Amino acid sequence: MRLKQLSSKEVIDVKEGRKLGVLGQADLKIDPDSGEIISLIILNKGLFHSRAETVIDWNHVEIIGEDTILINNEL
């Protein structure tokens, strides 16, 4: 799967049933040696342009669907 195919997908925590953000507003942390994705970093814009980050370990990704990425942070 290409990065372009991941963009604009909503990231949802299945345990809490809440939307964490949209992957188009995120970064990926990639292992430079293997090229594997280590984590997703979702940038959450707050009031007055403040930014908070939500870091999701790639091992917590359960399903990548057509419109959403489901994660389980309980693993």
Q: Which two tokens stand for residue 23?
A: 């992957």
Predicted confidence at residue 71, as pLDDT, reads 93
Residues in the chain: 75
Residue 48 backbone zone (phi > 0: left; psi -120 to 50: alpha; other: beta): left
DSSP 24: G
Task: Look at the domain 3-71 and name its fold.
Answer: SH3 type barrels. (2.30.30)
Quick: pLDDT tens for 29-68.
Answer: 899 999 998 998 887 666 665 567 788 899 999 999 988 9
State yes or no: pLDDT of 15 exceeds 60.
yes
Provide the residue ranges of all domains of the chain, joining segments of one domain with +: 3-71
Compute the distance between CA of residue 40 and CA of residue 23 in angstroms, rounded to an integer.
Answer: 8
Average pLDDT over residues 3-13: 80
| Alpha carbon distance 23, 32 (integer Å) | 21
Give the type of residue at 56. Answer: I
What band does 23 get if pLDDT is binned at 50, 70 and 90? confident
